[in-house]
C-alpha cells in the first residue's frame, strides 16, 4: 500500500511487530524505504501476566540496526499523541514503541518535542539519568526524592532512539557527574547501548545501564515485575548514591 502512495499504520504487540516480522520489515519496508508506520504496543516486561513470550525486550535493538528506520520510544500520553501526528510528516519507515501500562502524564499539552531531540528535565549536575518510555516517569520520581537529600540530578527523556540526540548526551556527560541509563528493555542494544556508543566515540565516561540484564521476563503483576527486575526509582537512587 505504501508503494501506491498510502501511509499504512500497523499495530500489534511489539514482540510480533519487531520480532516475527523482522525479515519483512527489513526487506520489504526498510530496504525500499517505504512509508510505513509501525506502532508496536505491549513492549517491555511491564506487559505483566502474559509472561516472557509476550514481553518484548529486544525491539529497540532490532529496529535500531535497520538502515532508513526511525525509532521512537515515547513516555506519556502527550508525547504519544505528538509522535503519531509527527511521524505522518516523516517520509520513510518509523517504529514507535508503546507500553501497555497506564503511565503518568509527564508533560503539559503545549510541550514542544522534536524528533531526534531529547527533553532535558531539570538542571542538576550531580548525575544524568537518560530514560526512555515508561522509565522516564520513574526517573523523575528518583530526581524528586534525591532533591530532598540535596542531590540534584537531571533526567533526559530520550524519546527518539534513532537518530539519537548526540549533542545533548555529550553536553550532559560534560556537565554532570554520574551517568545512568534506564529502559524497560534489554541492556543490550537499546537506549543504554545507544548512549554508550555516542560517549565512547565522543566523550568517554563511565555509564551505568539499568535494564533487563540479558534475560527473559516472567509472569506477574507489572508493578511487581518492575520491582523484581529493578526497573524502579529505587535502583536509580541506589546507583547514584552508591554506584
Pair type for strands 178-186 and 127-131: parallel
Name the minimum Å distance from CB 115 to another protein: 22
Is 10 near another protein (CB under 8 A)?
no
Which range touches another protein (CB under 8 A), out of 3-11, 38-46, 95-103, 220-228? Answer: 3-11
Residue 17: helix, strand or coil by DSSP?
helix
Burial profile 77-109: b = 16 or more Cβ within 10 angstroms, e = fewer = ebbbebbbebbeeeebbbbbbbbbbebeebbee
Q: Write down the least CB distance from residue 36 to another protein, Å.
A: 10
According to the binding rule CB under 8 A, does residue 5 interact with another protein? yes
| Residue 177 burial by Cβ neighbours in a 10 Å radius (0-12, 13-18, 19+) | middle
CB-nearer residue toward another protein: 15 or 199 = 15
Euclidean distance between CA atoms 191 and 202, whole angstroms: 17
Count of residues of this chain found to bind another protein when the rule CB under 8 A is applied: 15
Chain positions 29 to 68 lying near another protein, rule: CB under 8 A, are: 31-33
Q: Phi-psi category of 122—alpha, beta or left, where left has phi over 0 and alpha has psi -120 to 50? A: left
Query: Under a CB-based contact definition with an 8 Å cutoff, are residues 152 and 126 in contact?
Result: yes
Under the binding rule (CB under 8 A), the answer on residue 163 touching another protein is no
For position 85 contacting another protein by CB under 8 A, the verdict is no
C-alpha cell at 228: 523484581
* Among 12, 19, 28, 50, interactor with another protein by CB under 8 A: 28
- Contact between 9 and another protein by CB under 8 A: the answer reads no
In the complex, least distance from residue 35 CB atom to another protein, rounded to whole angstroms: 12
Identity of the residue, 31 or 216, whose beta carbon is nearer to another protein in the bound complex:
31
Residues that bind another protein (CB under 8 A): 1-6, 8, 23-24, 26-28, 31-33
Amino acid at each position: 500500500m505504501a508503494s501506491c502512495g498510502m501511509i499504512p499504520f500497523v499495530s500489534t504487540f511489539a514482540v510480533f511487530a519487531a520480532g516475527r516480522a523482522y525479515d519483512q520489515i527489513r526487506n520489504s519496508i526498510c530496504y525500499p524505504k517505504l512509508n510505513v508506520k509501525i506502532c508496536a504496543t505491549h513492549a517491555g516486561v511491564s506487559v505483566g501476566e502474559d509472561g516472557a513470550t509476550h514481553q518484548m525486550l529486544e525491539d529497540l535493538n532490532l529496529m535500531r540496526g535497520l538502515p532508513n528506520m526511525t525509532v521512537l520510544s515515547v513516555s506519556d500520553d502527550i508525547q504519544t499523541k505528538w509522535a503519531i501526528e509527527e511521524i505522518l510528516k516523516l517520509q520513510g519507515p518509523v517504529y514507535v514503541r508503546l507500553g501497555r501500562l497506564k503511565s503518568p502524564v509527564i508533560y503539559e499539552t503545549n510541550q514542544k518535542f522534536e524528533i531526534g531531540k531529547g527533553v532535558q528535565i531539570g538542571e542538576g549536575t550531580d548525575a544524568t539519568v537518560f530514560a526512555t518510555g515508561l522509565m522516564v516517569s520513574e526517573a523523575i520520581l528518583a530526581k524528586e526524592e534525591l532533591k530532598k537529600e540535596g542531590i540534584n540530578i537531571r533526567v533526559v527523556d530520550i524519546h527518539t532512539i534513532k537518530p539519537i540526540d548526540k549533542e545533548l548526551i555529550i553536553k550532559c556527560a560534560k556537565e554532570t557527574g554520574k551517568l545512568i541509563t534506564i529502559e524497560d528493555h534489554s541492556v543490550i542494544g537499546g537506549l543504554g547501548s545507544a548512549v554508550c556508543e555516542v560517549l565512547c566515540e565522543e566523550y568517554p565516561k563511565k555509564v551505568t545501564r539499568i535494564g533487563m540484564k540479558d534475560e527473559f521476563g516472567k509472569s506477574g503483576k507489572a508493578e511487581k515485575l518492575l520491582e523484581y527486575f529493578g526497573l524502579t526509582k529505587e535502583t536509580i537512587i541506589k546507583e547514584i548514591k552508591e554506584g
